[in-house]
Amino acid sequence: MTVQSFINRKASQLAFFVRAFWDRKIPYREVDLYFWDTMEEWTQVQDRNTQPCTQKERVFWHMLHQLHFWPEHKLLEDPYLRSELKTCLEYLEGDGHCPLDCVGVRP
């Protein structure tokens, strides 16, 4: 699997998990499990250290980090954080503009 195919597949999954979490259809622990599954799957991507990083990949890693870093209540209730993450999410889904302040890096 290439980095690009990994990011494309995982970005759509990330969007699903975040929206379900925000709609309170799944608990935060499901988002956390998704994070750890993604980390494990990332180790299986071939040539991950030699392929260039795209803007979509940077936004993906940024958003994934934010979801893991902030506590559940902040992710649900902080309007500024939610707005930032919504911008990232819309970009990953192909519906928005690339956020300028995302500094996501590969693990």
pLDDT of residue 40: 96
Question: How confident is the prediction for the chain on average, in pLDDT?
Answer: 93
User: Tokens representing 23?
Assistant: 């709609």
**pLDDT tens-place string over residues 1-44:** 889 999 999 999 999 999 999 999 999 999 999 999 999 999 99
Chain-centroid distance of CA 26 in Å reads 16
pTM for the structure as a whole: 0.93
Q: Is the dihedral of CA 14, 80, 28, 66 positive or negative?
A: positive
* Closest to 104 measured CA to CA, from 54, 52, 60, 44: 60
**pLDDT tens-place string over residues 66-106:** 999 999 999 999 999 999 999 999 999 998 888 888 888 88
